[in-house]
Amino acid sequence: MAKKLFEYAVLYHPKVTKDANGNETQGPDVLLVKPEFVLAADDKQVAIQAARSIPEEYLERLDQVEICVRPF
């Protein structure tokens, strides 16, 4: 099976919180894994590879992590 070229990146979007005055605040989004190019059979393989690259300190906050995959 021929492999295709993909690009992926991993982002962290912190949750919205309320400060002492009741104002909603949100920290800045963070690029956890810089965009990388990979050869893979499909986007599912790329998503698995991207998931394995998530830094350990973010593994308990996966609901705030976004994996972006783009085919070429």
In which band, very low, low, confident or very high, does the pLDDT at 43 lie, cut at 50, 70 and 90? very high
Structure tokens, 55: 């830094």
Q: How many domains, in total, are found in the chain? A: 1
Please report, for residues 3, 10, 58, the alpha-carbon distance to residue 15 in angstroms, rounded to integers and kept in the order given. Answer: 37, 16, 13
Range of the domain at 43: 4-71
In which band, very low, low, confident or very high, does the pLDDT at 54 lie, cut at 50, 70 and 90? very high
Say whether pLDDT at 1 is over 80: no
In which band, very low, low, confident or very high, does the pLDDT at 26 lie, cut at 50, 70 and 90? confident
Q: What's the predicted TM-score (pTM) here?
A: 0.84
**Pick from 49, 9, 50, 51: nearest CA to 30:** 9
Higher pLDDT, residue 2 or 46: 46
Measured from the Cβ of residue 69, the count of other Cβ atoms closer than 10 Å reads 18
